[in-house]
Structure 1
Amino acid sequence: MGFVIDAAVYIDAPADLVWQVITDLPRYGEWNPFVKRCESTLEPGAPIDMLVTVIGSSPRKQREWIRTNIPGRELSYSMKPVPPGALRSLRSHTVTPAGEHRTRYESHFELDGWLHPVVAAVLGRNLRNGFEGMTAGIQLRAESLRTG
């Protein structure tokens, strides 16, 4: 089993609004403490270019590739595997309606391959903090848009 970070929160906002926050890439810098900039067409197979701030380091460019985009439901992307099976990742956002004005948001990240223990040892805590901050940011952003 690889290195996995899972989080789920209930958001007091409709699912379509939560989806809007996740896919409004130009606004990431306004609410996202982890991914300061993000650009993509979100088409499966297209790149997603991010400026990621891992706590304790300078922002760094990260390019991954869109795997799935099921509008209103799921967005996932992954890095190109580092050969030969050294490192691979998967990141997904899942949105599930939990009532008319309530949504369950699930954040999933996994890192696998024979090199993943080294990356997890060096960056694990910072990655966990980053993904937790992003999850909290999605919740706060969607709830503020609903009430704003």
Structure 2
Amino acid sequence: MATFVYEENLHIDAPAAIVWEVITDLPRYGEWNPFVSRCQSTLQPGDPIDMTVHLMARPQQQREWITDYDDGHGFAYRMKPVPLGALSSARWHDIRPDGEGRCRYQSHFELRGWMMPVVRGLLGARLRAGFAGMNAAVKQRAEALWAQRQR
């Protein structure tokens, strides 16, 4: 089955706990995140994650479902699959320490299904740009918070 994957691994000059704070402080997404300006969830597996996503000219409301949660390290979610295997998605964040005051942040997104080529054709470039912007913003926010707390 064909898959569209966007994955980025970043080294961030901030402890893993700071990056965890950034990605789990959902009410503050609007302050720093250019791709997902509103996010609400308990982050508990089985619960929804409701987002306002800036993928098109007008922001889109999106609901997906938390599948995994590893306190301090990451969480994952999926869209409700479209019937007949037409389309499904998976998204996860993973944070691991990488030396003193540094960590590695992995951002992963994938689409699968027979409709994936159509979605990739219509939205692939926008998805890549959106996730790249969000990842850069995670890095920038975490490093700024860490620098501020070092003072």
TM-score (normalised: structure 2)? 0.96
The one-letter code matched in structure 2 to 1:9 is L
Q: Which residue of 1 aligns with 2:69?
A: 69
Q: CA deviation at 1:74?
A: 1.6
Q: CA deviation at 1:142?
A: 0.3
What's the secondary structure of 1:6's corresponding residue?
Answer: strand
Instruction: Give the gaps of 5 or more residues in structure 1.
Output: none
Q: CA deviation at 1:50?
A: 0.0
The one-letter code matched in structure 1 to 2:22 is V
Alignment of 1:1-148 (within 5 A): 1-54=2-55, 56-148=56-148
Q: CA RMSD in A?
A: 0.7
> Matches of 1:50 and 1:124 in 2, distance apart?
19
> Matches of 2:120 and 2:134 in 1, distance apart?
19
- Residue-by-residue CA offset, 1:50-104 (whole Å, 9 max, x unaligned): 00001x5110100000000101112100000000100000000000100120010
> Matches of 1:113 and 1:47 in 2, distance apart?
22
> Matches of 1:107 and 1:60 in 2, distance apart?
21
Percentage identity across paired residues of the two chains: 57
> Matches of 1:69 and 1:34 in 2, distance apart?
22
Q: CA deviation at 1:25?
A: 0.1
Instruction: Give the gaps of 5 or more residues in structure 2.
Output: none
TM-score (normalised: structure 1)? 0.98
Structure 1 consecutive aligned stretches of length 4 or more whose deviation exceeds 6 Å: none
The number of aligned residues is 147
The one-letter code matched in structure 1 to 2:120 is A
